[in-house]
C-alpha cells in the first residue's frame, strides 16, 4: 500500500475565535529523498494537543507561529522508511516532531528512539510523553502534594488531567476531578479512581464543587481557566499551589471578558492566602528530568497503577475535525490520529 | 515625666476607601498593674506598616480584623517598666506587639529580647525586623536572584523596597527602583545604590520603565500593584519570579476597577512566560528562618553594606496622620512613631 505522494495539512488561514475546517488545507507534495546522513520518516501516529491552537495565531507566545501555507506542527511517532544515517535502521520506531504530514526528512536531531517492536508506540505521545511528563512534573515539582491534600484537576479525563489525578492518588491526595458530562465523570471515578468528579456543565457546578471540596483546595492543577477557575478561586486554601500548564477555555477568545477587572482580585487572593501560581512549559523547564519521570511512569504502568485511555482517530485527513473537537472537549482520552498503518 | 494614664488609639469606625482621622480616637485608660508572672511594658517606638489597613476592614483576610473600640494593633519596641516576671528586668528592651498605646501587660509570650542598651532599638521594627525579613526571604527564597538579573522593586525607598534593592545589589542584580517623586528617586540611586529609579508620577512612566529595563524583568518584587504592575507586566521575561508581599495601591479600593476583565490575561502571561507569582506572609511562612536573616543582615549593617532610613514621627497622637500619609506614599523611609522617651 505505497503512497505516491506526501499528504500534508497546512495552515490555510489564521482562525478568529474557534478554528474551522477552512483554516486547514490538505495538500500533496512529492515524497522527499534523504541525502547522506539523513533518513526518511513515515508517520504512524500524530498527537493532537491544545497548545497547537496557539501556534495557529501570530500573537507573541513562547514558540514561533506556524506560517500560512506551512505544515501544521505536532509530535509524531514514525517509522524509518529509508535511511542514509548510520545510527538509524529502516523499520525502527522514533518519537519525532514532523507535524501533520505523512513523510519528513530528519538528520536524527531531536529524535527519541523507541526500538524495533515497541509494545505501544503511540504511548510516547501520551502517558510516556509530553502530556504524562507535564502532569508528573507540574504536580510533583510545583504542586508539592502532601498526604491528605485536596487536589482538584480540570479536564479530568484528558491526556494531562487523567495523569495528574492518578499520580495524585498515588501520593495520597484526595482527588476531585472536573469534566464535561456524566460519562466522563463516571470514568474518572470508576476507572481512574478519583474520589469525586464534578460535571462542569451542571447548572450548580460551583456549588457541587464547593461541596466536594469541604476542606478547601490545596492544589489546583490548572489547564482550562475561565469558569472553572472562577469556581475554584474562592475554595483555595492558605498555602495552595497552582501549577499552570494550559488555559484551554481561553484559547479561542478574541477579546478579554467584560469587566470588572479582576486582575487585582486574583493578586490579592494570592497575597492573602499565600498562594503560588506558576506557569511552566514542560520540555523547556524540565527536559533534564525526563529520566526521573520515565522511570516512575514505566513502573506504574507495569504495576497497573496508571490507566491510560486514547481517543484514536483514523486518517490524517480527519485531523482538522479531531483538533476542532479537542478544543471543544469532545475527545475522551488522549487525542491521537493514526495517519498510516505500521509497516 | 510620668504619665498618669495609658493613652490608646482605638478604631472608632471602619474606613470606606482611604482612612481618615475620624476612623481613630485617642482615649485614656488607667495604667494596668502586672500580676505575678506578668510585666508592664512601656512603648518607645511604634511601627506603622501598610498591612494595618487590612486590619481596619472586616473583610476576610489572613488575620482577624481590629474590633471597633479596640486598640489598633502594631509592632512596638518597649522597655520593661515593672516586672513580676522572673526572666525580664526593669529597663530591659523588648520587641513586642502591643499596638497603638503607651502601656500594655505581657506574660513574656512572643517577646523578643533586645538587651539593656541596644544601639538602635527601633531597628527591630525595620531593617532587623518584619520589613527587612520580608525583603530578605521574598527576594532570596521566592525571587531566586542570579547575577545579572534585572530586579524591579516598587516603593523603592520604603521599608521593604529599600532593603530588596540593596540585597539585590549585593547579589549582583541590576536594580531598577520605582518611587514617587524626584527626591526619592535620587536617594534610591545615590544612597541606596540602585542602578536606576523611575518616578511613577511621571506622565511617561511606563515608557521610562521599559527603557530602563532594556533586557526585560527577571524579578519583580511586588508590594504596590495597580498601575505599576500594569507597566511591569509586558516587560516580564520568560521564567520571571514575582514575590508578592503587598498591594498598597489597592488597599483603599472600594470596588474592582472597570473592565475588561484582565484576570485571564494575567494567567495567560504566567503560562506563556512560565512565570512564578507567589504571595507570602513573612512570619507565617518563614518564621523558622529568622536566624539566617538576622545573621546576614547584622553583618551587612556592620560592614556598611546596607543603608537604612527611618521616617520618625514624634508622639502617639500623630500616629493616625502618619499612617494616612504612609498609605499615600508621603513617608520617606521606614515609618516609625516615637511614642515615648526612653527611660
Select from B62, B275, B276 the Cβ nearest to the Cβ of A272. B62
> Residue B63 — pLDDT band, cuts 50, 70, 90?
confident
Let me know how many helices (H) and strands (E) chain A has, helices first: 10, 15
Query: Are the beta carbons of A256 and B259 separated by less than 8 Å?
Result: yes
All CATH 3.40.50.720 domain ranges in chain B, comma separated: 130-283
Query: Are the beta carbons of B258 and A253 separated by less than 8 Å?
Result: no
Alpha-carbon gap, residue B156 to B176, rounded angstroms: 9
Q: How far is A285 from chain B (nearest CA, A)?
A: 8
The answer to whether B242 touches B217, Cβ cutoff 8 Å, is: no
Q: CB within 8 A of B224, min separation 6: which ones?
A: B154, B155, B178, B246, B247, B248, B249
Q: Where are the alpha helices (DSSP H) in chain A?
A: 52-55, 130-137, 161-170, 182-190, 205-212, 226-232, 263-272, 282-286, 290-302, 319-327
Alpha-carbon gap, residue B142 to B129, rounded angstroms: 19
Alpha-carbon gap, residue B274 to B257, rounded angstroms: 26
Write out the three cell numbers for A230. Answer: 472562577
SS3 at position A318: helix
Instruction: Look at A49-63, A171-185, B262-276, B283-297 and tell me which has the smallest mean pLDDT.
Output: A49-63
- Tell me which DSSP letter residue B66 carries: P
Q: What is the mean pLDDT of chain B?
A: 94
Q: CB within 8 A of B82, min separation 6: which ones?
A: B34, B39, B40, B90
Select from B238, B253, B264 the Cβ nearest to the Cβ of A225. B264
Q: How far is A64 from chain B (nearest CA, A)?
A: 12
Packed helices A130-137 and A290-302: angle between N→C axes, nearest 10 degrees: 100
SS3 at position B72: coil
The CATH number fitting domain B5-126+309-338, selected from 3.40.50.11890, 3.90.180.10, 3.40.50.1980, 3.90.198.10: 3.90.180.10
Which of B261, B269, B283 would you mutate first to test chain A, the one with the most A CBs within 10 A?
A: B261
- Burial class for B255, CB neighbours closer than 10 Å (0-12, 13-18, 19+): exposed
pLDDT tens per residue across span A192-236: 999 999 999 999 999 999 999 999 999 999 998 999 999 999 999
pLDDT of A1 strictly over 90: no
- B224 CB within 8 Å of a chain A CB: no
Taking CB atoms and an 8 Å cutoff, what residues of chain B touch A247?
264, 267-268, 271
Packed helices A263-272 and B263-272: angle between N→C axes, nearest 10 degrees: 70
Alpha-carbon gap, residue B179 to B161, rounded angstroms: 9
Which of B245, B254, B271 would you mutate first to test chain A, the one with the most A CBs within 10 A?
A: B271
Determine the residue of chain A that is closest to B245 in CA distance.
A271
- Tell me which DSSP letter residue B56 carries: T
Alpha-carbon gap, residue A173 to A148, rounded angstroms: 5
DSSP B138-185: IIIIII---TT-EEEESSTTSTTHHHHHHHHHHTT-EEEEEESSHHHH
- B229 CB within 8 Å of a chain A CB: yes
So what's the pLDDT on residue A28?
95
The two beta strands, B236-244 and B276-279, are: parallel
Taking CB atoms and an 8 Å cutoff, what residues of chain A touch B65?
none
Q: CB pairs below 8 Å between A and B: how many?
A: 139
Residue B215: CA count within 13 A, CB half-sphere = 12
> Residue B64 — pLDDT band, cuts 50, 70, 90?
confident
Write out the three cell numbers for B110. Answer: 512572643
So what's the pLDDT on residue A3?
54
Give me the residue label for grid cell 487525542: A335
pLDDT of B3 strictly over 70: no
Q: How far is A328 from chain B (nearest CA, A)?
A: 18
SS3 at position A68: coil
Find residues 39-98 of chain A whose CB sits inside 8 Å of chain B. 61-62
Nearest to B279 by CA among B311, B247, B232: B247
Alpha-carbon gap, residue B146 to B150, rounded angstroms: 9
Nearest to A53 by CA among A326, A332, A330, A244: A326
Q: What percent of chain B has pLDDT over 70?
A: 98
Which element (helix H / strand E) includes B205? helix B205-212
Query: Are the beta carbons of A253 and B262 separated by less than 8 Å?
Result: no
Query: Are the beta carbons of B247 and A271 separated by less than 8 Å?
Result: yes
So what's the pLDDT on residue A255?
87
Q: Where are the alpha helices (DSSP H) in A49-118?
A: 52-55
- Considering the entire predicted model, what is its pTM? 0.89
Select from A222, A229, A274 the Cβ nearest to the Cβ of B285. A274
All CATH 3.90.180.10 domain ranges in chain A, comma separated: 5-126+309-338
CB atoms within 10 A of CB A193: 16
Which of A231, A237, A268, A280 would you mutate first to test chain B, the one with the most B CBs within 10 A?
A: A268
Packed helices A130-137 and A161-170: angle between N→C axes, nearest 10 degrees: 40
Find residues 243-262 of chain B whose CB sits inside 8 Å of chain A. 244-247, 250, 253, 255-262
Alpha-carbon gap, residue B159 to B130, rounded angstroms: 9
Query: Are the beta carbons of B261 and A266 separated by less than 8 Å?
Result: no
Query: Are the beta carbons of A246 and B273 separated by less than 8 Å?
Result: no
- B28 CB within 8 Å of a chain A CB: no
SS3 at position A198: strand
pLDDT tens per residue across span A43-101: 999 999 999 999 999 876 667 899 999 999 999 999 999 999 999 999 999 999 999 99
Taking CB atoms and an 8 Å cutoff, what residues of chain B touch A137?
none
pLDDT of A143 strictly over 70: yes
Residue B69: CA count within 13 A, CB half-sphere = 1
Taking CB atoms and an 8 Å cutoff, what residues of chain A touch B277?
267, 270, 276-278
So what's the pLDDT on residue B2?
54
The answer to whether A99 touches A85, Cβ cutoff 8 Å, is: no
- B284 CB within 8 Å of a chain A CB: yes
Q: How far is B297 from chain A (nearest CA, A)?
A: 25
pLDDT of B4 strictly over 80: no
Query: Are the beta carbons of B257 and A259 separated by less than 8 Å?
Result: yes
DSSP B214-240: TT-EEEEEBSS-HHHHHHHGGGEEEEE
Q: How far is B36 from chain A (nearest CA, A)?
A: 38
- Tell me which DSSP letter residue A166 carries: H
Query: Are the beta carbons of A62 and B274 separated by less than 8 Å?
Result: yes
Q: What is the mean pLDDT of chain A?
A: 94
The answer to whether B163 touches B155, Cβ cutoff 8 Å, is: no
The answer to whether B223 touches B248, Cβ cutoff 8 Å, is: yes
Nearest to B327 by CA among B51, B10, B42: B51
Query: Are the beta carbons of B267 and A61 separated by less than 8 Å?
Result: no
- Tell me which DSSP letter residue B13 carries: S
So what's the pLDDT on residue B16?
92
So what's the pLDDT on residue A252?
82
Select from B265, B274, B277 the Cβ nearest to the Cβ of A256. B265
CATH architecture, domain B130-283 = 3-Layer(aba) Sandwich (3.40)
Write out the three cell numbers for A198. Answer: 464534578
SS3 at position A324: helix
ipTM more than 0.90?
Answer: no
Dihedrals φ, ψ of B201, to 5°? -85, -10
Which of B64, B243, B264, B273 would you mutate first to test chain A, the one with the most A CBs within 10 A?
A: B264
Alpha-carbon gap, residue B124 to B126, rounded angstroms: 6
Write out the three cell numbers for A178. Answer: 472536573
So what's the pLDDT on residue B249?
82
User: If you average pLDDT over residues B211-239, what whole number do you get?
Assistant: 96
Write out the three cell numbers for A263. Answer: 486582575
> Residue A138 — pLDDT band, cuts 50, 70, 90?
very high
Instruction: Look at A258-272, B88-102, B163-177, B244-258 and tell me which has the smallest mean pLDDT.
Output: B244-258
Give me the residue label for grid cell 487536589: A151
Alpha-carbon gap, residue B276 to A144, rounded angstroms: 14
Amino acid at each position: 500500500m505505497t503512497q505516491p505522494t506526501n499528504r500534508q495539512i497546512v495552515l490555510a488561514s489564521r482562525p478568529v475565535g474557534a478554528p474551522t475546517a477552512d483554516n486547514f488545507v490538505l495538500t500533496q507534495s512529492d515524497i522527499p529523498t534523504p541525502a547522506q546522513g539523513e533518513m526518511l520518516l513515515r508517520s504512524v501516529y500524530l498527537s493532537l494537543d491544545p497548545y497547537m491552537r496557539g501556534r495557529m495565531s501570530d500573537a507573541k507566545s513562547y514558540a514561533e507561529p506556524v506560517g500560512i501555507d506551512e505544515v501544521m506542527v505536532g509530535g509524531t511517532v514514525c517509522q524509518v522508511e529509508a535511511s542514509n544515517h548510520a545510527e538509524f535502521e529502516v523499520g525502527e520506531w522514533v518519537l519525532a516532531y514532523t507535524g501533520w504530514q505523512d513523510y519528513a526528512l530528519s538528520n536524527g536531531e531531536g529524535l527519541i528512539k523507541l526500538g524495533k517492536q515497541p509494545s505501544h508506540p503511540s504511548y510516547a505521545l501520551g502517558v510516556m510523553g509530553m502530556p504524562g511528563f507535564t502532569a508528573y512534573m507540574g504536580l510533583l515539582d510545583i504542586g508539592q502534594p502532601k498526604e491528605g491534600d485536596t487536589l482538584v484537576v480540570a479536564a479530568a479525563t484528558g491526556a494531562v488531567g487523567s495523569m495528574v489525578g492518578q499520580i495524585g492518588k498515588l501520593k495520597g491526595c484526595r482527588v476531585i476531578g472536573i469534566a464535561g458530562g456524566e460519562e466522563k465523570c463516571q470514568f474518572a471515578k470508576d476507572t481512574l479512581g478519583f474520589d469525586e468528579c464534578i460535571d462542569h456543565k451542571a447548572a450548580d457546578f460551583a456549588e457541587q464543587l464547593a461541596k466536594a471540596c469541604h476542606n478547601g483546595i490545596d492544589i489546583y492543577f490548572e489547564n482550562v481557566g475561565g469558569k472553572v477557575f472562577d469556581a475554584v478561586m474562592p475554595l483555595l486554601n492558605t498555602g495552595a499551589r497552582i501549577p499552570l500548564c494550559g488555559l484551554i477555555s481561553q484559547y479561542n477568545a478574541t477579546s478579554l471578558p467584560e469587566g470588572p477587572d479582576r486582575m487585582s482580585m486574583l493578586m490579592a487572593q494570592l497575597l492573602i492566602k499565600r498562594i503560588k501560581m506558576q506557569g511552566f512549559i514542560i520540555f523547556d523547564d524540565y527536559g533534564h528530568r525526563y529520566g526521573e519521570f520515565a522511570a516512575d511512569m514505566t513502573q506504574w504502568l507495569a504495576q497497573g497503577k496508571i490507566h491510560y485511555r486514547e481517543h484514536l482517530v483514523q486518517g490524517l485527513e480527519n485531523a482538522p475535525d479531531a483538533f476542532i473537537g479537542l478544543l471543544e472537549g469532545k475527545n475522551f482520552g488522549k487525542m491521537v490520529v493514526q495517519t498510516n498503518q505500521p509497516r
